């Protein structure tokens, strides 16, 4: 079994024939998060224990009669997944199974940035061996689309009907300041890049964190057929930067490389105009220029 | 501390001068627990400190996590138990309430682990001293609850609790409660059973329900809609009720093989007595001395029933001891505000359904560490002569109040 990086989608289909997330889950059509977990599980395979935090994905998997999981999973509480996962990691370690069984903890941005924030922070500090996958759709979408700690400035949610007025937490940068073996940001529009990141995390002997941006069809106000397009626009406009961080070293990932050069970026408005949650700023030059400035600041702050 | 135990192939019984907290640490080691997680809170910290000493001196090879909160401490040991190893945690007071959400999850997921609660009053106002409000507040969370009389009983109860929790008919978590300070910090000679006898009594961890397994993948912690949910709750309730048989069976086995242990209730002078005092925890040891003195000095004889097991509630066992008595006094170191003490509610409810015509009085006392004294014992026995058993006062009589303080702090005229 080769653990070399994947080159392209053909590589994916040749190497990973099996599906560990069965069809028939209760997710919305074109849900970015469902696809993210499915692709991650392709890389991790059947020898994986999973922890699925409360949120969209827990509901997708556990509504009676769906039977989506083909590998062992636990749905814990909303805020305790990294702690329960720590216990599983201890058990794997004590039973000498840590090299044979992967441990994947999946949480949405609410679980990661808000209710389970200190829990994940401590689990990383303890250096258990696990992969934490945060599917970031910038809100509490399972409860109908309320703001979370990662909701973008100006984004309309159920709890920010005129657009969010607070800066989102810079989650990946917060966890960069933890002692992770491996950290990466990913985007569901770039599956090969994402799967290679899961592959790297899998081979680490310690905690790793991957945050993947996954559009939410109903709460972002996006057409299902446009999900991948919206996701990609986040990268091609430079709004999202995909990178890896390990051993104190930060590397720009391939899909983002070209957009270090500002002139290569798509106009930022092309990202916003695909989503109803930003429709109120499309003609607001002041808001748009602030958003553009924030993109430039991000590139500068992260150091590319 | 001298450690002769491991000589002679671990078959030596020793006696050591230990606090209740240390005795619990010894029991956790004897049970060959593999995973421990805890967050510091007075008066539970002595357990954690003792376990750290045992681990760092290489006498005990458990993995210990110093968690970032009690909610996480319990969640970690839930994870390690589901992952297939024997696990332990301990807390007190606010810590138990911070775990509250996870405690219901633990029993709902049928996770067989053991937790010590070193009983302490709840804030506000903050106190570090003992009463039973913390564990009584969580009496409906689907755990078994034992209340110990002293450090020795705590050690024995930890060992039997693992056997009970892991029994295939039970598969539920067990809370072993000890009074803060009175038990946790008081040192006494403690008999420590031999490792060999404990190993024979308590086999290595292998619950019959495989939780996380690659051979038979399951999604644990699924949602249950109205067509399933009630049955889940029913089955957990049934397992808790049926655990009584397992408790008796396990304690009999332990009594035969290792040391005598009380399974459900113990009595003191209860056969002869006309008046029975029912209560929980270390104050019942104090009451034995008080009862001896009272029985010497007054005509009406007084006996005691101590509940060691509060969940499942040993209704039949209590009823069989109180039939034909004239009066029952229930002492509660906790209160359900606007109602009465939780233990009083349980006892008066079983009296109602039994048809026994016995006067039952409920006293609230000992909150936030206030001591039970001989003088207070006398006041209680005097008070029931004057109290109308059908009055509201008799259901929650606050016998030990300082009325000067109350006058000063009353907010309304």
Over residues B223-282, the pLDDT tens digits come to 899 999 999 999 999 999 999 999 999 999 999 999 999 999 999 999 999 999 999 999
The DSSP result for A156-173, as a single string, is: -BTTBTT---SPPP-HHH
The DSSP result for B287-318, as a single string, is: HHHHHHHHHHH-SS-EEEEEESEEES--HHHH
Q: Using 50, 70 and 90 to split pLDDT, how confident is the model at B209?
A: confident
Distance separating alpha carbons of residues B253 and B261, to the nearest angstrom: 10
Ranges of each domain in chain A: 26-302
B37 close to A (CB below 8 A): yes
Q: What is the pLDDT of residue B9?
A: 61
Q: What is the pLDDT of residue A24?
A: 79
pLDDT of A246 above 90? yes
Residue A218, both tokens:
């109903």
End-to-end CA distance of chain A: 35
pLDDT of B399 above 80? yes
User: Can you tell me the mean pLDDT for A127-133?
Assistant: 98
User: Can you tell me the mean pLDDT for B204-220?
Assistant: 85
Q: What is the pLDDT of residue B300?
A: 67
User: Can you tell me the mean pLDDT for A246-271?
Assistant: 96
Residues of A in contact with B76 (CB under 8 A): 83-84, 86-87, 90
Distance separating alpha carbons of residues A149 and B255, to the nearest angstrom: 56
Residue A229, min C-alpha distance to chain B (Å): 33
pLDDT of A38 above 50? yes
Q: Using 50, 70 and 90 to split pLDDT, how confident is the model at A259?
A: very high
In whole angstroms, how far apart are CA A275 and each of A166, A204, A268? 19, 37, 12
B63 close to A (CB below 8 A): yes
pTM, entire model: 0.96
Q: Do A71 and B214 touch (CB under 8 A)?
A: yes
Cβ atoms of B50 and B125 closer than 8 Å: no
Nearest to B72 among A47, A74, A83 (CB): A83
pLDDT of B6 above 60? no
DSSP A140: B
Distance separating alpha carbons of residues A209 and B32, to the nearest angstrom: 34
Q: What is the pLDDT of residue B102?
A: 98
Nearest CA in chain B to A128: B65
Backbone angles phi, psi at B250, to 5 degrees: -65, -45
User: Can you tell me the mean pLDDT for B374-390?
Assistant: 91
Q: What is the pLDDT of residue B298?
A: 63
Q: Strands of B114-119's sheet, edge to edge?
A: B63-66, B35-38, B87-91, B114-119, B174-179, B144-147, B309-311
Q: What is the pLDDT of residue B62?
A: 98
Residue B53, min C-alpha distance to chain A (Å): 20
B280 close to A (CB below 8 A): no
Question: Which carries the bigger pLDDT value, residue B293 or residue B334?
Answer: B334
Q: Do A80 and B102 touch (CB under 8 A)?
A: yes
pLDDT of B5 above 70? no
Question: Domain A26-302, what architecture?
Answer: 3-Layer(aba) Sandwich (3.40)
Question: Which carries the bigger pLDDT value, residue B392 or residue A177?
Answer: A177
pLDDT of B2 above 50? no
Identify the CA nearest to B109 among candidates A108, A55, A84, A129.
A84
pLDDT of A1 above 50? no
Hey, what domains does chain B have and what are their CATH numbers?
7-204+236-257 (3.40.50.970), 265-409 (3.40.50.920)
Cβ atoms of B282 and B272 closer than 8 Å: no
Cis amide bond preceding A127, omega within 30: no
Question: Which carries the bigger pLDDT value, residue B144 or residue B228?
Answer: B144
Distance separating alpha carbons of residues B147 and B139, to the nearest angstrom: 12
Cβ atoms of B65 and B36 closer than 8 Å: yes
Q: Using 50, 70 and 90 to split pLDDT, how confident is the model at B91?
A: very high
A101 close to B (CB below 8 A): yes
Cβ atoms of B159 and B201 closer than 8 Å: yes
Cis amide bond preceding B123, omega within 30: no
3-state secondary structure of A11: helix
Helix B20-30 crosses helix B151-166 at what angle (to 10 degrees)?
A: 30
Beta-ladder partners of B221: none
pLDDT of B1 above 60? no
Residue A221, both tokens:
């106000």
Nearest to A83 among B75, B84, B85 (CB): B75
CB atoms within 10 A of CB B349: 12
Compute the mean pLDDT over every residue in chain B, rounded to the nearest whole number. 94
User: Can you tell me the mean pLDDT for A176-195?
Assistant: 97
Question: Which carries the bigger pLDDT value, residue B219 or residue B278?
Answer: B278
User: Can you tell me the mean pLDDT for B204-213?
Assistant: 83
Distance separating alpha carbons of residues A59 and A83, to the nearest angstrom: 20
Sequence-distant (6+) residues with CB within 8 A of B111 are: B78, B81, B82, B171, B172, B173
Summarize pLDDT for B19-54 with one digit per residue, the tens. Answer: 999 999 999 999 999 999 999 999 999 999 999 999
């Amino acid at each position: 079994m080769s653990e070399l990086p994947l080159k392209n989608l053909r590589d994916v289909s040749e190497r990973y024939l099996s599906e560990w997330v069965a069809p028939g889950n209760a997710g919305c059509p074109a849900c970015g998060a469902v696809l993210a977990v499915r692709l991650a599980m392709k890389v991790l395979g059947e020898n994986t224990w999973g922890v699925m935090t409360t949120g969209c994905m827990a509901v997708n998997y556990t509504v009676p009669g769906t039977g989506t999981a083909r590998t062992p999973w636990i749905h814990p509480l909303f805020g305790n997944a990294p702690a329960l996962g720590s216990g599983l990691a201890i058990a794997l370690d004590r039973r000498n199974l840590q090299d044979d069984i992967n441990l994947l903890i999946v949480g949405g941005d609410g679980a990661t940035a808000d209710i389970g924030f200190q829990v994940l922070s401590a689990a990383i500090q303890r250096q258990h061996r696990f992969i934490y996958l945060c599917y970031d759709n910038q809100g509490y979408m399972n409860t109908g689309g309320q703001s979370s700690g990662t909701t973008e400035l100006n984004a309309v949610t159920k709890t920010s009907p005129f657009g969010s007025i607070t800066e989102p937490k810079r989650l990946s940068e917060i966890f960069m300041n933890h002692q992770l073996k491996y950290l990466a940001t990913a985007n569901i529009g770039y599956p090969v890049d994402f799967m290679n990141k899961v592959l790297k995390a899998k081979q680490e002997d310690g905690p790793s964190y991957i945050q993947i941006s996954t559009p939410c069809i109903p709460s972002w106000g996006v057409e299902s057929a446009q999900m991948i397009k919206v996701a990609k626009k986040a990268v091609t406009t430079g709004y999202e930067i995909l990178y890896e961080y390990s051993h104190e070293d930060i590397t720009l990932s391939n899909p983002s490389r070209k957009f270090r050069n500002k002139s290569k970026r798509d106009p930022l408005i092309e990202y916003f105009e695909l989503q109803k949650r930003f429709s109120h700023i499309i003609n607001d030059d002041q808001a748009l220029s602030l958003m553009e400035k924030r993109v430039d600041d991000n590139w500068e702050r992260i150091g590319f | 501390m001298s450690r002769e135990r491991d000589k002679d192939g671990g078959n030596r019984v020793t006696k050591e001068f230990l606090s209740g907290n240390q005795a619990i640490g010894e029991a956790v080691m004897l049970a060959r627990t593999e995973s421990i997680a805890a967050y510091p809170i007075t008066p539970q910290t002595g357990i954690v400190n003792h376990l750290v000493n045992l681990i760092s001196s290489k006498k005990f090879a458990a993995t210990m996590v110093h968690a970032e909160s009690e909610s996480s401490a319990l969640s970690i040991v839930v994870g390690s138990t589901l992952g297939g190893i024997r696990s332990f945690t301990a807390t007190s007071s606010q810590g138990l309430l911070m775990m509250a959400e996870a405690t219901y999850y633990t029993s709902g997921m049928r996770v067989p682990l053991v937790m010590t609660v070193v009983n302490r009053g709840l804030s506000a106002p903050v106190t570090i001293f003992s009463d039973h409000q913390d564990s009584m507040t969580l009496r409906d969370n689907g755990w078994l609850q034992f209340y110990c009389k002293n450090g020795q009983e705590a050690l024995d109860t930890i060992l039997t609790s693992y056997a009970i929790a892991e029994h295939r008919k039970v598969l539920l978590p067990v809370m072993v409660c000890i009074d803060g300070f009175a038990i946790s910090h008081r040192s006494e000679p403690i008999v420590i059973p031999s490792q060999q006898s404990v190993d024979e009594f308590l086999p290595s961890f292998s619950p019959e329900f495989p939780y996380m397994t690659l051979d038979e993948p399951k999604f644990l912690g699924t949602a249950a809609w109205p067509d399933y949910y009630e049955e889940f709750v029913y089955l957990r309730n049934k397992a808790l009720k049926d655990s009584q048989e397992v408790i008796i069976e396990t304690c009999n086995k332990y009594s035969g093989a290792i040391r005598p242990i009380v399974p459900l209730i113990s009595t003191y002078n209860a056969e002869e007595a006309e008046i029975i005092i029912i209560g929980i925890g270390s104050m019942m040891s104090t009451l034995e001395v008080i009862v001896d003195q009272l029985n010497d000095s007054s005509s009406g004889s007084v006996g005691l029933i101590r509940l060691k097991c509060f969940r499942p509630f040993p209704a039949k066992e209590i009823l069989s001891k109180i039939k034909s008595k004239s009066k029952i006094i229930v002492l509660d170191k906790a209160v359900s505000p606007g109602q009465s003490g939780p233990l009083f509610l349980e006892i008066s409810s079983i009296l109602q359904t039994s048809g026994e015509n016995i006067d039952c009085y409920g006293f609230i006392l000992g909150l936030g560490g206030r001591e039970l004294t001989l003088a207070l014992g006398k006041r209680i026995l005097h008070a029931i002569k004057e109290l109308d058993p059908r009055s509201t006062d008799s259901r929650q009589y606050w016998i030990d109040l300082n009325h000067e303080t109350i006058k000063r702090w009353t907010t309304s005229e």
